[in-house]
């Protein structure tokens, strides 16, 4: 059964609390600059029986990863949603960021969500040693056929995709609601236009392949009228698939050409439609990124700190706006430095006292 991935992705967006398929990634940065990492997922019975083609992780686990089945299914809270986990893979990196993940089946478009650019700096101070960690997730290179900036300002995108509500400070409830309603309207205009453009591109491509010049010209004339009637409203619930758009085109043109085109090539059109929108696969995944640092954390942009761990939520929605960088800095007390300093001060005081007595 064909799934409209654009619709599925954006339905998830409306909830914003839903994790879809969730992963838990737990990392421990060590004082020597190495990092131990564990990634948890939920594997089906075939994977548990040893079938690696049912790999539940978003990356290949053949090289460098150790696999462990958990004794039983465990549950964890993923931002308000209870998720199940039953397998984990783990490895230790001698240097943070030394190796990147290999994504499944060579799907390079998954890299923004799967492979962050990680860095760790160890800065020596006399009394403290500082550890500065960053993990940069790249902005999605493919956001569909319509630029977001055409419908939402950068400020509005920060609010909608990152939850940055600083701009709403000072507004009362009525004013905040009005502001958010305007942003929602802009979002739906972008979404509706995007799914419509995908179907239009597919239909145009097949009409050109058929060599039907007259209908290619007619398609260009019908593009805006069809969009205006069926897709311009923010509450449009039409799925916007090639088959549906073909029906609307026939309705306006008083022909059966586009419906017949879909009847003869519908399967290929649907496959191309999904291929053009394949980036939306990412919107079904979320990673709970947990990090432990040496010593005491002195600064971070983590959304949550719990039981000594820094916690972020990483998903494709946050990457629609821009690069998403996780930052943390900790410090470790150099007790030996305090000891040497105190000893030096004692010796210096004794020396000065002897000089004074003389």
What would the pLDDT profile of 279-301 be if each residue is shown by its tens digit? Answer: 778 888 999 999 999 999 999 99
Assess contact for 185 and 200: CB atoms under 8 A.
no
- Does residue 111 register a pLDDT over 90? no
Q: Which of 244, 144, 251 is nearest to 189 (CA)?
A: 144
DSSP for residue 140: P
For the ranges 130-139, 177-186, 276-285, 286-295, the lowest mean pLDDT is seen at 276-285
Say how many C-beta atoms besides its own lie within 10 A of residue 338's C-beta.
12
Mean pLDDT of 217-243: 83
Which tokens in the block code for residue 126?
């006399």
**pLDDT for residue 4:** 40
Which tokens in the block code for residue 55?
């790999």
Assess contact for 240 and 4: CB atoms under 8 A.
yes
Beta-bridge mates of residue 288? 24, 313
Q: How confident is the model at residue 17 (pLDDT cuts 50, 70, 90)?
A: very low
Residues 190 and 184: their CA atoms lie apart, in Å, by 10
Query: Quick one: three-class SS letters along 230-286?
Result: HCCCCCCCCCCCHHHHHHHHHHHHCCCHHHHHHHHHHHHHHHHHHHHCHHHHHHHEE
**pLDDT for residue 9:** 40
Q: Which of 307, 296, 306 is nearest to 329 (CA)?
A: 296
Mean pLDDT of 229-257: 83
Handedness of CA 152, 158, 161, 166 (dihedral sign): negative
Please, which residues have CB within 8 angstroms of residue 290's CB and are 6 or more apart in sequence? 24, 25, 26, 27, 309, 310, 311
Assess contact for 233 and 256: CB atoms under 8 A.
no
- Does residue 122 register a pLDDT over 60? yes
Looking at every residue in the chain, the average pLDDT score rounds to 86
pLDDT digits (tens, 9 = 90+) for 39-87: 999 999 999 999 988 999 988 887 789 999 999 999 988 888 888 999 9
pLDDT digits (tens, 9 = 90+) for 305-328: 998 899 999 999 899 999 999 999
Which tokens in the block code for residue 56?
């539940």
Beta-bridge mates of residue 118? 135
**pLDDT for residue 41:** 94
- Sheet of 128-137: strands edge to edge? 117-124, 128-137, 324-333, 296-300
Mean pLDDT of 191-207: 92
Assess contact for 40 and 58: CB atoms under 8 A.
no
For 301-353, the DSSP string reads --SEEETTEEEEEEETTHHHHS-EEEEEEEEEE-HHHHHHHHHHHHHHHHHHH
| Residue 189, CA distances (Å) to 178, 209, 239, 274, 348 in order | 17, 30, 14, 21, 74
């Amino acid at each position: 059964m064909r799934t409209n991935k654009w619709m599925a992705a954006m339905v998830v967006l409306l909830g914003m609390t839903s994790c879809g398929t969730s992963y838990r990634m737990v990392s421990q940065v060590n004082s020597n600059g190495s990092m131990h990492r564990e990634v948890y997922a939920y594997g089906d019975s075939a994977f548990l029986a040893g079938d690696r083609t049912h790999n539940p992780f978003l990356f290949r686990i053949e090289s460098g990863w150790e696999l462990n089945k958990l004794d039983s299914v465990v549950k964890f809270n993923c931002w308000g949603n209870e998720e199940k986990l039953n397998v984990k893979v783990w490895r230790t990196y001698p240097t943070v960021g030394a190796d990147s993940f290999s994504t499944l089946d060579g799907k390079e478009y998954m890299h923004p969500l799967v492979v962050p650019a990680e860095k760790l700096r160890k800065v020596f101070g006399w009394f403290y040693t500082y550890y500065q960690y960053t993990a940069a997730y790249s902005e999605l290179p493919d956001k569909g056929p319509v630029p977001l900036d055409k419908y939402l300002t950068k400020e509005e995108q920060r609010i909608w995709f990152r939850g940055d509500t600083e701009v709403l400070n000072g507004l009362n409830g009525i004013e905040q609601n009005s502001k958010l309603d305007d942003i929602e309207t802009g979002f739906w205009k972008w979404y509706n236009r995007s799914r419509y453009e995908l179907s239009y591109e597919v239909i145009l491509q097949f009409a050109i392949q058929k060599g039907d010049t007259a209908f290619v010209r007619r398609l260009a004339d019908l593009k805006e009228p069809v969009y205006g009637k069926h897709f311009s409203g923010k509450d449009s619930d039409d799925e916007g698939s090639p088959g549906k758009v073909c029906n609307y085109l026939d309705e306006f043109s008083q022909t059966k050409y586009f419906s017949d085109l879909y009847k003869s090539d519908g399967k290929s059109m649907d496959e191309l439609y999904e291929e053009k929108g394949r980036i939306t696969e990412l919107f079904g995944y979320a990673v709970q990124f947990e990090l432990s640092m040496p010593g005491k954390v002195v600064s971070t942009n983590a959304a949550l700190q719990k039981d000594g761990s820094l916690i972020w939520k990483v998903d494709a929605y946050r990457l629609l706006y821009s690069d998403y960088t996780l930052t943390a800095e900790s410090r470790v007390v150099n007790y030996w430095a305090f000891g040497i300093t105190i000893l030096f001060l004692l010796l210096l005081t004794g020396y000065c006292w002897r000089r004074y007595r003389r």
